Chain A
Amino acid sequence: MGLRMSQNTQAETSPDQAAGAEILLRALKDQGVEVIFGYPGGAVLPIYDAIFAQNAIRHILVRHEQAAVHAAEGYARSTGKVGVVLVTSGPGATNAVTGLVDALMDSIPIVCLTGQVPTHLIGNDAFQEADTTGITRPATKHNYLVKRSEDLARMVHEAFYVARSGRPGPVVIDLPKDILINKAPYAAAPETPHRSYRPQVEPDAAQIAKAVAQLKSAKRPVIYTGGGVINAGPEASEALRALVRKSGFPCTSTLMGLGAYPAGDPLFLGMLGMHGTYEANLVMHGCDVMLNIGARFDDRVTGRLNAFSPGSKKIHVDIDPSSINKNVPVDIPVVGDAGRVIRAMLAAWDADTTEVDRPAIAAWWKQIDEWRGIDCLKFRQDMTKGAVIKPQHAVQRLYDITRELKAKTGRETFISTEVGQHQMWAAQYFGFDAPNRWLTSGGLGTMGYGLPAAMGVQIAHPDALCIDIAGEASILMNIQEMSTLAQYRLPVKVFILNNQYMGMVRQWQELLHGGRYSESYTAALPDFVKLAESFHGVGLRAKSVDELDDVIRAMIESDRPVIADICVDEKENCFPMIPSGAPHNEMILGPEHGTTLQQGGAKSLTDEGLVLV
């Protein structure tokens, strides 16, 4: 094993002493780490040497440190495990920062090991020195600088505990080179609770009882769930399904929560928020009791705060007490792990003998079905040969064909996205029936997330179909990872909805800036087919609707990395849309419903709305 690497110098030390790099790897192994996404450099060479001498942990060599973090996020989000990253000092660490903030915003457990100049040089502007703990302090849940060898093992174990406990998040361990080389003692993960960080996971029984009583009194209820349910593990999604079905209440989800409740179920209203469905947003606006589980009343979801769900009693379940009463004052706060809370609610539901007001709920559903009846996501695809592909249709077909595949072969599909219109169309038209299958950069909205994230998923699920639904602008932000796919023979599929524009930017310019498309058109795009080929992958292109299905099938059937360049309608916009700063009941439905962006925008186009993002 790697721990015996330097036998000669080990003779006089105790068996539990070894070079810091070896102690580090031993701690990682004890934490159950199987994969590290990384990129080498001078400051971390001792770790690379230790990696070389062992087989337990696999190292995936990415092509950019940002991608290492996104890949670890994909790995973490699709498995529920902590994702691990290894980068060198200085530029290695600064390149990782975007990924760290992304993981922080979306509550993804990551441990990122960064190299550092030796302790005696810290503060001297040494070569490739950066104040990594200073830079990453607001970019992480917590960070460590290991200054003494005897702290190394303890800090590594603690970092994993912090990353996965409570509300998960990224943790950085900054490792000066001398710490990696000098002998350090090993310590096992502590059995005792952490000195100061002990987040509450078990909910308060009285709050649960209050919440259930409130829910049972509802006439127009809604259950609104978020990424917290996904983070609480598949059992939490199971419990959620039981609660929704037991209550018969309508359920909606944030972008991050998709898959916790099956998209095809009649009790599911689709996603809510800025590009959510008409019915989900009107239900949020008109409900009398709202149960929020693991969502954070984000501005993409609430719209204008003082007009958000004005008449409702609000129950908010979150593992992070600072999420409660942050944006929206709530009536019944419940702190705890989403899964445990839902299970406690199920038990309390049965214990409370009050009957739900079934006639009122039936009337509520009647209203909801009317809203549903307008079919807010409808679009018109011209099916004649040579017709332009609508991006919605492309996602819809991708969904249908992957579902056929699942039915036939049982092969699972995982979808990641970049950021923009294609991301919203993916969320709207791809139905997710299980948690952990949907990976998108929600909080930070990081273009360049999708390809490395899909790569991380493929590493964790070698037999699954991993597709990045991309925009032609976003994909160029981490396109170098095609090279990683080739090296490790990862058959990730990149499905580009190529509209030649930074479509989401163009849409906002249409809405708010008089259609002046300043710098939102990408001239001189690469030939994505040749690009795929030059990276040892397969390039495919669909130029019209009649070519679409064949391209999708060829993409799925290929056992190699594929870029499918889907040329879609350049002018299509993403609807429904609640412009920033508008209330939920002022949705723009789009041309299929007789409102264009300009008409819809005019009403909400106040200066106040203009300053919002």
Chain B
Amino acid sequence: MATQDTRSATISVLVENEAGVLARVIGLFSGRGYNIDSLTVAAVDPVLNLSRINIVTSGTDMVIEQIKAQLDRLVPIHKVADLAKGGPYVARELALIKVVCKGADRVEALRLAEAFRARVIDATLESFVFEMTGNTDKLDAFIELMRGLGLAEVSRTGVAAIARGTTTI
């Protein structure tokens, strides 16, 4: 039976790649008071004219089931998948992180970036832009560390996710 505990869910949606479809999805979430923790969208199949939207949301089991059902009844939506329900999945996010610092902080930032496997994609004498890919927790941890070292700006893509193994949406 459903519990009252809040859980996080990663929902992938295949939609018709047409005008207004993203507005329908976002409007559904704001209109019904659902959370959006992350949302990504891009065309994935030019032949079938499909886009994929990945949404990270949170709520009780009942709310998450409701979100899926509400998404599913939108006319241009082909498929709704709750990734955790379908078995193991991988989720990745990309972040560009600008750190402005000098001296010892600069050395430390670079050292941590190596430990986290963040790549330097731009540098000046007093700044770095790191590119980092990983799951949301890893990105959060790195960004948190940079806070003390001159974190100036962050740009993140939001989560892209896909099932492990041979399973497809």
Contacts and interface: CB of A to CB of B under 8 A. Distances in A.
Interface string A130-162: 000110011001110101000000000000001
B76 A196 contact: yes
A325 B72 contact: no
B23 A134 contact: yes
B66 A196 contact: no
B121 interface: no
B73 A320 contact: yes
B86 interface: no
Contacts of B15: 196
Contact of B69 (A147, A324, A329): A324
Interface in A307-339: 320-322, 324-326, 329
B19 A166 contact: no
B1 interface: yes
Nearest to A323: B69
Interface of B: 1-2, 15-16, 19-20, 23-24, 27, 31, 62, 65-66, 69-70, 72-78
A36 to B, nearest CB: 23
Contact of B2 (A133, A167, A320, A329): A329
A141 B62 contact: no
Contacts of A137: 20, 23-24, 27
A199 B24 CA distance: 18
B54 to A, nearest CB: 18
Contacts of A324: 69
B61 to A, nearest CB: 9
Nearest to B14: A196
A195 B16 contact: yes
Contacts of A133: 20
Contacts of B31: 138
Interface string A173-207: 00000000000000000000001110100000000
A199 B72 CA distance: 10
24 contacts: A133-B20, A137-B20, A137-B23, A138-B27, A142-B74, A142-B75, A143-B20, A145-B19, A145-B20, A195-B16, A195-B78, A196-B15, A196-B77, A197-B76, A199-B73, A322-B66, A322-B69, A322-B70, A322-B73, A325-B62, A325-B65, A326-B66, A329-B1, A329-B62
A142 B21 CA distance: 10
A161 to B, nearest CB: 10
Given A196-B15, A322-B66, A326-B69, 12 more contacts: A137-B27, A147-B19, A195-B16, A196-B75, A196-B76, A197-B75, A199-B73, A324-B69, A325-B2, A325-B62, A329-B1, A329-B62
Contacts of A167: 73
Contacts of A166: 73
Nearest to B77: A196
A196 B78 contact: yes
Contacts of B23: 134, 137
B72 A322 contact: yes
A143 B75 CA distance: 9
B113 to A, nearest CB: 43
Contacts of B66: 322, 325-326
Nearest to B70: A322
Nearest to B62: A325
B9 to A, nearest CB: 15
Contact of A196 (B16, B27, B62, B65): B16
A154 to B, nearest CB: 13
A321 B24 contact: no
